[in-house]
Chains A and B, each alone.
Chain A
Amino acid sequence: MKGKKMKYPLILSSVMLLGSVLAGCSSSKDENASSGSPSSGSASSGSSAAASDKTAGGVDISKEAKLVYYLWGSEGVANKDILAQINKKLKQDINATIEVKYIDWPDVATKYPLLFASGEKFDMSHASPGAPVSYFSLANQGALVDITDMLDKVAPKLKAEIPEQTWAGAKVNGKIYGVPSLYSEFTPTGFAYRSDLLKKYGMEKIGSIADMEKYMDNVLANESYPPINGNANDAFNMYRMLVDTTDMWINAPGISLTELNLVTKSPDDYKHVFHPAFTQEFEDWAVKMRQWADKGYWPKDILSSQVDAGTNFRAANSAGYLTHAQDWIGKYGTDMKAQPESDPYFYTFAEANHKIKRKLGVENSTVISTNSANPERALMAIEKFMTDPEYYNLIQYGLEGRQYVIEDGVKKTPAGFDDKKDGGGFAAWSLRNDKYNLPMDTENPIRSSLYDEWNKVAINDPYMGFSFDPKNVTTEIAAISNVNQQLGMQLMLGKTSKDPKEAVAEYRKQLKAAGIDKVVAEVEKQLANFEKIG
């Protein structure tokens, strides 16, 4: 219950989805025996081939498939109605129906990894390299169905829809384990702040840490609430601020990106990685964070607080929140509804050093569990959701006229909409596709111009297409995670019991004991044979 990480809160509230899937045959189970090795999931395509002799499109759909689709978020009142409509179509088209199960936001960090580890039977879910358990780990551990060949057979349209380059980013040891989304977005971390306050303080914009400090000092002097008011997860946002504002540092694989992860010095030097803890910059940052905490930039009980920063912002309990760009854009409507004068704007940490990265499709993927009895039908459903506008609108927006209307090409809330009866939708952002996506009246209208601008200067992630296989260092990674959840987090929020410099020394010592050197060596070893794409 606690400490969850809202990694993609953004869109969720406004969007939705579901995914489903279907499939045909299936004894995908026997093949997983071979897993562990990267190629593991692959056997399933073989077994499915045998069973598919019977029918059309190469897939036997004569037997009805019931698919379980796990989504993040909670069930809205109208979700059943929307799902009924989806199921009616799915039943007709691919003889399958979907049951959606939900992992509520506060539980994602705990229940999502358990979903796979416990061996529960389900068919589809969301995956991402940055999720609480990474897409690559899941693939390497044989938790996901290898869909490389299945795609050609049961979902050729989907295969063609997604560019080769995007598929390449989803490959793990040459095999595809998930369907990446086709939505262009940027998710650099930054600070969402109130334009009205900024004006009040006679400032123009926040473009540097110094500006941000000035804004926060003004808030402290003039407002009854603190500048930032979040929970322990803000530690990782502070860490991202450090990485994004320091030289050309870029996140590197190895340690979960939801922690204090490894970085590389610059995209050109991508074969060398290190942990920032051992740098002077990190130590200085820890000292700064202590100063910020002491000044009262965030409340003293931040580590025991369970309320996320966005919620506090909307409840007029803070003057800003740390998040990523897409979240700020997606929640703009909600923010404005809560505080119409706030007009939140965004300080993007990575912008000054010109290292905003393009988001990879794989960061929002839909995957099929090896416990699925009908992986083919699941893939067929994913294809429907991503390539058929009728399905797309249902899963993303709901029922036309009830959850949404389209006016001038913009998705709006219908006039008679009653949240108590009609509220709901699915957090199916991994199924999005630019082609069918509608601009929404709840988004910040700046989206398209800002993204166009970023698109010109954005860099590609040097690690696109690289998947780290943690199998030789799982215990070390677990121990590092434990250190990060304690000292690492405390350092980033200025809450260590010792002086920050001593605490950094202690943190370094603990990282060493946990085996950080071994992890770095393993990452570099695997990177040795990797050539960056493009």
Chain B
Amino acid sequence: MHVLSRLKLHCGNVLRELLKNKILFLMLTPVILYFIIFHYLVMPGAYVAFVDFNISKGIFASKFVGLANFEFLVKNGDLWNITKNTLLYNFAFLALGNVIQIVFAIMLYEISSSWFKKVSQSVLLLPHFISMVIVGVFAYNMFNFKTGFINTMLVSLGMDRYEFYSDPGIWKYIIVAFKIWSATGYGMIVYLATIAGINNDLYEAAYMDGASRSQRIRYMTLPMLKPTFILLLLFGLGGILKGSFDLFYNLIGTNSVLYPQTDIIDTYVFRSLVGQFNFSMGAAVGFYQSLFGLVLVFTVNLIVRKIEPDSALF
């Protein structure tokens, strides 16, 4: 009874609010509809990870098999391999990426020529604007066996051509290099903005006190960048299970020789959708990625809340 009346009251409130702000609700509707259709309607579909998918029955009428799909992935070792690759790559992207971005931000800040600053900033940011399809073209341009630039160089130096597309080991470095190539400018600008935010008076005072450039970097700039660095790193860790599908797919494509060291969760899920193998297994991996990612984000947020409450996401 009590509950019922509260519910009524609640509904009444909603209704009143709806009437009062009907224009605002209307203005919000397109975006909310978008999220409901393209995100919330899809979520229950994650259930496909727990069934033995049957084409004609669809997701929800297929036979429920519990964790069988996951069990299988663990047993045949695929899950471990792609998880390992995904984690290692993202870790390299994050750690190496951020360090390089910081180093470049500091270096750029230390440069006094504003002309040089401007031009180099523009050039470093350029790769961020380029689609990964073009990056794939670059890779083809440089590494393909018959006509690639590097093989052209090797041959002209009297050396043998190198089979880049048969050597999984080397792609680890190529992938990380392209990632850094494309992400450095962007990250550098974020850090640069942080440095620029450091009170200029502080710097002037440091000059006056006779601090050298290296002392200033070491005792002022770096410590001030630390919180930004930690935050970006933590947020990055939250997304560590999400791969850069674009990058991997355009560089590796379907060259199975390279998979052992370049197959990540996203490429595996993609192949299970379009390849010969099965929906449920791919979906199981996808679900595991989403769930594990969610747990990571919450964990990270918890840590952030401890060290820097203002920056916590929620």
Contacts and interface: CB of A to CB of B under 8 A. Distances in A.
Determine direct contact between A and B, CB below 8 Å: yes
A476 to B, nearest CB: 8
A520 to B, nearest CB: 17
Interface string A29-49: 000110110001100000000
A110 interface: yes
Contact of A482 (B144, B260, B277): B277
A142 B57 contact: yes
Given A303-B257, A475-B72, A513-B75, A35 B57 contact: yes
A376 B125 CA distance: 60
A526 interface: no
Contacts of B57: 32-33, 35-36, 142
A298 to B, nearest CB: 12
A497 B254 contact: no
Interface in A468-484: 471, 474-475, 477-479, 481-482
Given A478-B277, A478-B278, A479-B277, A116 B257 contact: no
B76 interface: yes
Interface stretch (A208-216, A413-421, A485-493): A485-493
A109 B63 CA distance: 26
A1 B56 contact: no
Interface string B142-164: 00111000000000000001010
A495 B257 CA distance: 8
B254 A2 contact: yes
A389 interface: no
A87 to B, nearest CB: 29
Nearest to B165: A304
Nearest to A487: B256
Contacts of A495: 166, 257
B55 interface: yes
Interface in B235-261: 253-257, 259-260
Interface size range of chain B in the complex: 35 or more
Given A110-B275, A300-B163, A478-B281, A142 B75 contact: no
Contacts of B280: 474-475
B77 interface: yes
Contacts of B272: 478
A299 B72 contact: no
A196 to B, nearest CB: 25
Contacts of A471: 52
A299 B55 CA distance: 39
A109 B254 CA distance: 12
B217 interface: no
A404 to B, nearest CB: 36
B161 to A, nearest CB: 8
Contacts of A1: 253-254
Interface of A: 1-3, 32-33, 35-36, 40-41, 109-111, 113-114, 116-117, 119, 132-133, 138, 141-143, 232, 256, 258-259, 299-301, 303-304, 370, 471, 474-475, 477-479, 481-482, 485-486, 489-490, 495, 497, 510, 513-515
Given A232-B254, A475-B280, A486-B260, 13 more contacts: A2-B253, A32-B56, A35-B56, A36-B57, A142-B57, A256-B276, A301-B146, A475-B69, A477-B277, A481-B275, A495-B257, A497-B167, A497-B257
7 closest Cβ pairs, A-B complex: A142-B56, A478-B277, A110-B274, A2-B254, A301-B145, A304-B165, A478-B278
Interface of B: 52-58, 61, 63, 68-69, 72, 75-78, 144-146, 161, 163, 165-168, 253-257, 259-260, 272-281
18 contacts: A1-B254, A36-B54, A41-B56, A109-B274, A110-B274, A119-B58, A133-B276, A138-B55, A232-B255, A299-B146, A300-B145, A304-B165, A475-B68, A475-B69, A478-B277, A482-B277, A486-B260, A510-B76
